[in-house]
Amino acid sequence: MGYANTLRAETKYSLSTALDMHGSDFSWAVSITFFAVTVLLVPSNLLMKRVSGKYFFPVAILLLGVIVASMSAVKSYGGLLAARFFLGVPEAAIPSACIMYFSFWYKPSERAVRVGLFEASNALATAVGGFISIGVDSLNGKGGMDSWRWLFLIEGIIAIAIAFPLAWLLLTYPETSKALTERERHIAINRFGRGTPRSTDATWDTSSLSQVVARPSTWVFFVSYLCVQIVASSFSTFLPIILNTFNQFPPHKATAYTSIVYFVVIPCYWFWSWHSDYTRERVWHILIPLIASLPCFAVWTYVASNKSYGSISPLVLYGLAFIGHSSSLWNPPMLSYRSATLYGASEQAIGGAITLAGLSIASIIGPQIYSASQKPWYIKGFTTSCVVLAVAIVGYASLPFWLAMEANQRKKATGHTMPSRALEDALHAQVSDQVIANEILQVEGEVKEGGGAVHQEHVPLEVMKGEQRV
């Protein structure tokens, strides 16, 4: 949407002019998608668990491509709003369900680098999308369509084409995938520890909902994630517009410079996510990128408040965008951290969706802080970014305290720190007797030592020895 609105800006061929958008109309066109996303996050996760990612994701991508391509035909602002709202249906199916899908195949110590690749693909798409939009601009007027219409049509067709090979490439679950040999299946199932989500877990459990919602850590994760995503979602949508108006770069230059920012961040995603997994550390890998991004928005706020560049050149202000975008590096370690503190498929579906709801709500709020009435200085947007980043830093720094407190409360109440739903799911897991015996020895050793970390939870021996296993 940011690239589409930059094409042929301030001319009769632009998106805003063609659809007669004024004031905050563009911001609402961006935000409206995420009303549907917010409502559908939990149902999407539950549906993915039931049918598996092999069938879920291709359908979601196909639907997304059809809706995006149809946006090329809208004739009015109302038509754009309708298309953007229904785009929220497949949008809800992607990020949260993808993180949940990873949890069935990768251990907690392996997830950050996978989530990092997932996030890097988003950065790559944004970077490539900028150069696609520059190329597509040459099609303006061809076939009687403006260049922004061509952009939606081409990107929609790309998504439709990708949906079909995706169905062939993706797997179901370790327990059911026909792509695995019996030996591979045995390894894939038995390499996970206690509390790991499995296809045999209950898809929905009301007690899991009440337990997850009652935990303070759930809301610390949610509020902190909401705060950072207000910055990240608005930054990703409005950076080409900010560079065009605030930095006074021509439209094509603003688009190309935005793409460069995203190209630079791609290897940073890979390294930072890999390093988080390698060191098995999450909190500092979350906090450092957030702290590093603050100077960007602080300097932009200073310039905007004075309504003068002073001795700071537009090129320097653009350079700050690189460190401002470092805030996105926090996401893979954070999502891996959240996933590792949820036990079983029900908790992953509910707790993951609640956290990712912060993204969809932020995507409603974020565009509003950069309304067109503020340009070119966007003082409200830059100031809000500084404040919410500071709130998120405090929230994430406090998470180890909340998680330890909750684990201790469960241990005092039941003698172990695993939620009851996870214990019941463990009875049905397709785990070998040898792995069960090893876990019993590990638990006995931890109990004798009187220790046990938050993520290495104590499972009662009678559950480990249960005979109701497949």
Q: In terms of Cα–Cα distance, which of 259, 251, 286, 260 is closest to 272?
A: 286
pLDDT-derived band of residue 204, with 50, 70 and 90 as boundaries?
low
CATH number of the 2-164+178-408 domain: 1.20.1250.20
Instruction: State residue 245's pLDDT score.
Output: 80
The CA distances from residue 136 to 8, 72, 241, in Å, are 11, 13, 18
d(CA 300, CA 308): 11
Q: Which helix (H) or strand (E) holds 356?
A: helix 344-365
Residue 284 token pair: 């500092």
| Cβ–Cβ < 8 Å for 92, 37 | yes
Give the model confidence (pLDDT) of 229-284 as tens digits.
998 888 877 888 888 888 788 888 888 888 888 888 889 888 999 999 999 899 99
Give the model confidence (pLDDT) of 26-85 as tens digits.
888 988 998 888 889 888 988 998 889 999 999 999 999 999 999 999 999 999 999 999
Q: Which residue has the tokens 């199932």?
A: 189
Instruction: State residue 389's pLDDT score.
Output: 93
Residue 234 token pair: 């608005």
Higher pLDDT residue, 435 or 329? 329
Contacts 24+ apart (CB under 8 A), 179-186: 186/432
Residue 435 token pair: 């792995």
d(CA 312, CA 245): 16
pLDDT-derived band of residue 456, with 50, 70 and 90 as boundaries?
very low
Give the model confidence (pLDDT) of 372-392 as tens digits.
777 788 888 889 999 999 999
Instruction: State residue 428's pLDDT score.
Output: 59
d(CA 295, CA 284): 18
Q: Is the pLDDT of residue 453 over 70?
A: no
Instruction: State residue 132's pLDDT score.
Output: 87
Higher pLDDT residue, 100 or 426? 100
Give the model confidence (pLDDT) of 145-179 as tens digits.
899 999 999 999 999 999 999 988 999 998 888 89
Total-model pTM: 0.74
Sort residue 450 into left (φ over 0), alpha (ψ -120 to 50) or beta. left
385: exposed, middle or buried (Cβ count in 10 Å: 0-12, 13-18, 19+): buried
Q: In terms of Cα–Cα distance, which of 146, 148, 128 is closest to 68?
A: 148
| Cβ–Cβ < 8 Å for 276, 295 | no
Give the model confidence (pLDDT) of 78-132 as tens digits.
999 999 999 999 988 888 888 889 988 998 888 899 988 888 888 888 888 888 8
| Cβ–Cβ < 8 Å for 268, 382 | no
Q: Where are the domains of the chain?
A: 2-164+178-408, 411-464
Query: What percentage of the chain reaches a pLDDT higher than 90?
Result: 25
